Copies of this chain bind each other. A is one copy, B any other.
Amino acid sequence: MSTVNLNYGKLKDSYLFAKIAERVNAYSQMYPEKKILRLGIGDVTQPLCPSVIEALHEAVEDQSRAESFHGYMPECGYGPLRSAIAEYYRRRNVELNSHEVFISSGASDELGDLLHLFDRNLDAVLLEPAYPAYADANIMEGRTIHFIETSEINGFTPEPPAEALTALIYICSPNNPTGAVFSKERLKQWVDYANRTGSVILFDAAYEAFITEDDIPGSIFEIDGARTCAIEISSLSKTAGFTGTRCGYTVIPRELVRDGSSLNKMWIRNRTTRTNGVSYILQ
């Protein structure tokens, strides 16, 4: 019997971005005068915008006075913020109950944490190239991964596979790193595939704020049938200068049921057991 999770041994030596950072550091120490164009994970270059700064100061002030102080936050998120996000979806004609919106410590953290809901024998489907944490987080749990290559031929938004796989399917649109966006028609094919096979789509909508066209889906829940097969992970980072502040959200519809279990209820149970919520100041 093993003590540690031996799946970690299946990972490459180090996470891609950690490796890049290490090499960049070594190079810049050897050649301090050289200017380096960083095309790796990137970082934010602009400070937070004035309205965010003002709101953060106000929240800190709230915490300084007994009458406005908030202690532990509800584990699934602060009610007014959950409602505000449900309201934000209405502009796309997506109706959500605020209890389907969960406040997270950001999309990256959530993409790993959500895997806890799924059986470790469930396969994963990844459209490559993809955010490298998708693969690594699944390798660390011992899952088999099916990679589907995307390219100019399929506009980087491929059709579902011919084979009927029951799997965790990752779709990121607008895509990191290609920038490709799924049309409603193409996304509908994946939703139908997931419903037919009992798969669950993890829809990474972190870059949703960059969509300006009305006919491009900014949420998978604009597609009929998505409420029975999809979880949407999103971010507050990419809109108004909030990156690195570590607050995002996840939508798990109440109709999403597998093996007789409601994934919405399972996530409530996970959050109430495993976290004490996101800091009031950030929410």
Contact = CB atoms under 8 A, between A and B. Distances in A.
Contact of A259 (B4, B50, B73): B4
A9 B119 CA distance: 12
Interface in A250-283: 258-259, 261, 263, 266, 269-270, 272-282
Nearest to A136: B273
A179 interface: no
B63 A60 contact: no
Given A3-B122, A116-B5, A279-B245, A109 B274 contact: yes
A120 B266 CA distance: 19
Given A1-B119, A4-B119, A275-B109, A280 B64 contact: no
Interface in A103-125: 105-106, 108-109, 111-113, 116-122
Number of copies: 2
Given A11-B269, A244-B276, A278-B246, A140 B116 contact: yes
A97 B26 CA distance: 22
Contacts of A209: none
Contact of A263 (B4, B18, B53, B118): B4
Contact of A281 (B8, B11, B270, B281): B281
A265 to B, nearest CB: 9
A68 to B, nearest CB: 8
Contacts of A92: none
Contacts of A81: none
Label chain A's interface by main secondary structure.
Answer: loop
A92 B219 CA distance: 53
A46 interface: yes
B4 A272 contact: no
A71 B53 contact: no
4 closest Cβ pairs, A-B complex: A112-B274, A44-B71, A43-B71, A3-B258
Interface of A: 1-6, 8-9, 11, 14-15, 17-18, 41, 43-48, 50, 53, 56-57, 60-61, 63-66, 69-73, 105-106, 108-109, 111-113, 116-122, 133, 136-137, 140, 166, 198, 200, 243-246, 258-259, 261, 263, 266, 269-270, 272-282
